[in-house]
Structure 1
Amino acid sequence: MTEIDVVGVRPDLLARVSDEVRDAFGDDGPRVAEVFERIMRDNLASVTERLDDGTAFILTGDIPAMWLRDSAAQVRPYLVLAGEDPALADLLVGVLRRQLEFLVLDPYANAFKRGPEPSAHADDRTVLRPEIWERKYEVDSLCFPLDLAHRLWQVTGRADVLDSRFAAAAEAVVDLWTLEQDHSRSAYRFERFDCPPTDTLTRDGLGEPVGWTGMTWSGFRPSDDACRYNYNVPGNMFAHAVLGQLAELADAGLLDPGLGERAGALREQIGGGIEQFGRVAHPEAGEVYAYEVDGLGNALLMDDANMPSLLSAPLSGYLAVDDPRYLATRRLLLSEHNPYYYSGSAAAGIGSPHTPEGYVWPIALAVQGLTDPDPEGKRRLVRLLCDTTAGTGMMHEGFHCDDPARFTREWFSWANAMFCELVLDVAGRRLPG
């Protein structure tokens, strides 16, 4: 691998968009635009390496590995501008092609290495290849690269992103999701030793028992924590949307019709499973979506800050922001009924079992804003995010709801990207759909 100059947003385009941000936020405009412009200028450049094969490797931030999920989320605000900046679009295509190479290599892996350096997880009991950093299977890890390809096609009109490698990745995803509808047929196992229970699967790496639902099984959540019940509903919502994208591409003559038909049929089964097994009655909120279920009668009512979440269902493409089912679920998630919703003197929002109690995540605050139909609600959350950086001007993984100076991860590229996506949304620049 050879590191060369990284392409970012064209300076004149970034300056023009920053002016739009300044205008959109009124009195807060100068402060918001300053944080936005600095992050947009530096965030991608600080984590991206262009490789000799023309692809691009994106670090998740302070960990020397590339997550399929994180790397797609990290480029979302840049994707908004890619239609006006061909060089930026080329870079994002390079990111996609690196993701697709990794996905085809092993669709069960969630994170990959940039070179021959050893993995911190080489002692995990699973099938590890030299290129893999971690092999925690998460449904959403397969969603994000396919979704990025579809969005690149929408934003730029470039059909070259839908090449033979994309077709191979799409085939691998449909095959794996179909297999994992019945996890008893799967050869996937994962065990980690001398670790918290959330870092490994039970029953010799098989995971807890599940029944048939039509949904597809996941070992781990988008947080990389083990699922309690292995049908992760927001992950299946995202899979449902991505399978619809594959069917759309097949209808447009850009993907094999047979694969499009298989994707459409699997989509119907997953959607039926979500609606039959993923909805539960809550005594106060009414009928809402559970975070996880097992098809055996157990359901977990909560939400996690990491995307895809139940709160991010409109961003995943499963529900509209005004859908009554979404609104009922949203009210529950943004209340004390969600065990990971924290409210303090500095902020209120969703955190994660992945971080200490009381820590709100900027990613979740950004998602809350992106799914808020009220423009003032969006602006309020942008101001809150600017107010809770503890003077760093950067987004953290999580911060204490009473004291933003207590935070995890000094800088977190994904959170920075989500802040910028929310700012762009307020300024009237949004991703298609």
Structure 2
Amino acid sequence: MQFPTSVGDHPLIERAVRHLDALGDPRYGRTLVRCLDDTLARTIRPMPDGSAFVVTGDIPAMWLRDSSTQLMPYLALLRDDPGLQDLVAAVLQRQFEQIRRDPYANAFNPEPSGRAHDTEDLCEDPWVWEEKYEVDSLAFPLLLAHRFWRATGRTDHLDGAVRTARAVLTVWRTEQDHEHLSSYRFTRSAGPASDTLPHGGRGTPVARTGMTWSGFRPSDDACAYGYNVPANLCAAAALDGTAEMARHAGDPELAEDADALAAELREGVARHGTVDHPDHGTIYAYEVDGLGGALLMDDANMPSLLSLPLVANVSTTDPLYRATREFVLSPANPTWYRGSVAEGVGSPHTPAEHIWPIAVAVQGLTSDDDAARLAALRTLVDTDAGTGAMHESFHKDDPTRFTRPWFSWANAMYAELALDVAGLGTRPLWSGSSAKP
């Protein structure tokens, strides 16, 4: 099967470029087209079974989370573009197969080659590149499936989504009681401490809270405390969409189960996932353990606390979100940096004082102020080191000091923001409570 390799002549992209050019900087539109075309031309691999494999950039594996976010901006272009629709459906097919193969894995090979980030990892499945269990790895394909349905009205992927959702709910239910029900373990002898879980691969102790446990963050770094708050809220939003898809597919039992689990996750966050900050009031913690431990920070990788309106059905005007946002975008957050060329959120996954373009884009997308969104777009083109592409991170005082020269997820986030600034983005798809297809 052949998939589109360029969007340069897409009518909506032409409109977006005209709008962006009118803002006075030709880099905005050029970078939009370059980022979207790069994903289509260089990261998509059609597979013999009709599915599509997606690399995240300069690593030859397919991450469930990254491959979802890489496709999110194209949702705004799908209505009258069957080629792009078929591409998203093919990626979803691949994701569903991967999840049902191993719902604890975060990244996969295109064939059973046995290639892996570390060949000494406990997982011996030759299809699995890495088996770092992350709640968001299961949530993002379900979010993509639901938004694809709402963007197009297509239903040919719903049976696969429903079958996959059953496997996801089983894991999330199991990991609500990680200490007693879960057999998942992950250890890695080489690399930094953030690449392995303590206590024989079980992770740090947790109590039952109603939330679901995660071994690793969206950054692929180990959780300090087992309940990642933004990942749980993202999972709840994925379950909202799952319930809608299940009802449409004639599976009321799955819909009821999804609704019930979503409520439990949100109640767990409400009871255990917030803290009182002396300067910012009541805010979301980034991670908690249900035993009194709480980590106050944010991470540039999504789902993040900053990104909750994009991925968790949380309103930008919600008082708890607004207080948390103020914390995240302040010196009180240990991963927030202000330099001579930019300010924004970074990650323990990359060197200190490095800001992530993903987080800059998220900051713009979650702002209700047009000027702030445009300012974020300007920051992104001003800090690309003249490459015309987004990087994983860049130094706050010197954007020529960056990590990962080819990172398709960051390119996708630039595209989402640019389309949003042009008034043609995916904002109508963010909330699961909006109009159905």
TM-score w.r.t. the length of structure 1 is 0.96
Which residues of structure 2 form unaligned runs of 5+?
431-437
- 2:88 match: 92
Does residue 365 of structure 2 align to residue 370 of structure 1? yes
1:375 partner letter: D
CA contact (8 A) 1:107 1:142 kept: yes
Task: Tell me: CA distance 1:255–1:376, structure 2 relative to 1, closer, same or farther (3 Å).
Answer: farther
Residue 40 (structure 2) aligned to one of 33, 44, 52: 44
Over residues 244-276 of structure 1, what are the superposed CA-to-partner deviations in whole Å (9 max), with x where a residue is unaligned? 11222233x325111111111111111100011
- Once residues 130 and 314 of structure 2 are traced to their aligned partners in structure 1, the CA distance between those partners, rounded to angstroms, is 31
- TM alignment of 1:34-433, pairs within 5 A: 34-163=30-159, 165-184=160-179, 185-251=181-247, 253-431=248-426, 432-433=429-430
- Once residues 317 and 225 of structure 1 are traced to their aligned partners in structure 2, the CA distance between those partners, rounded to angstroms, is 21
* 1:11 Cα deviation from its structure 2 partner: 4.3
Task: Tell me: CA distance 1:115–1:34, structure 2 relative to 1, closer, same or farther (3 Å).
Answer: same
CA contact (8 A) 1:395 1:412 kept: yes
1:293 partner letter: V
1:383 partner letter: R
CA contact (8 A) 1:107 1:173 kept: yes
Over residues 382-410 of structure 1, what are the superposed CA-to-partner deviations in whole Å (9 max), with x where a residue is unaligned? 01100001110110000000000000011
* 1:354 Cα deviation from its structure 2 partner: 0.3
Task: Tell me: CA distance 1:42–1:194, structure 2 relative to 1, closer, same or farther (3 Å).
Answer: closer
Over residues 154-186 of structure 1, what are the superposed CA-to-partner deviations in whole Å (9 max), with x where a residue is unaligned? 0010011102x3222100001110010000210
Identity of matched residues, %: 53
Over residues 320-349 of structure 1, what are the superposed CA-to-partner deviations in whole Å (9 max), with x where a residue is unaligned? 011111100000000001100011001000
- Once residues 298 and 192 of structure 1 are traced to their aligned partners in structure 2, the CA distance between those partners, rounded to angstroms, is 25
- Once residues 259 and 21 of structure 1 are traced to their aligned partners in structure 2, the CA distance between those partners, rounded to angstroms, is 43
1:410 partner letter: P
- 1:13 match: 10
2:212 partner letter: T
- Once residues 359 and 7 of structure 2 are traced to their aligned partners in structure 1, the CA distance between those partners, rounded to angstroms, is 29
* 1:26 Cα deviation from its structure 2 partner: 3.0
2:226 partner letter: N
CA contact (8 A) 2:215 2:226 kept: yes
CA contact (8 A) 1:25 1:379 kept: no
* 1:31 Cα deviation from its structure 2 partner: 2.1
Paired positions, count: 427
- Once residues 255 and 46 of structure 1 are traced to their aligned partners in structure 2, the CA distance between those partners, rounded to angstroms, is 38
* 1:194 Cα deviation from its structure 2 partner: 2.1
Which residues of structure 1 form unaligned runs of 5+?
none
1:7 partner letter: P
- Once residues 318 and 237 of structure 1 are traced to their aligned partners in structure 2, the CA distance between those partners, rounded to angstroms, is 8
- Once residues 356 and 124 of structure 2 are traced to their aligned partners in structure 1, the CA distance between those partners, rounded to angstroms, is 31
- Once residues 120 and 98 of structure 1 are traced to their aligned partners in structure 2, the CA distance between those partners, rounded to angstroms, is 19
- Once residues 124 and 142 of structure 2 are traced to their aligned partners in structure 1, the CA distance between those partners, rounded to angstroms, is 23
CA contact (8 A) 1:399 1:407 kept: yes
CA contact (8 A) 1:80 1:429 kept: yes
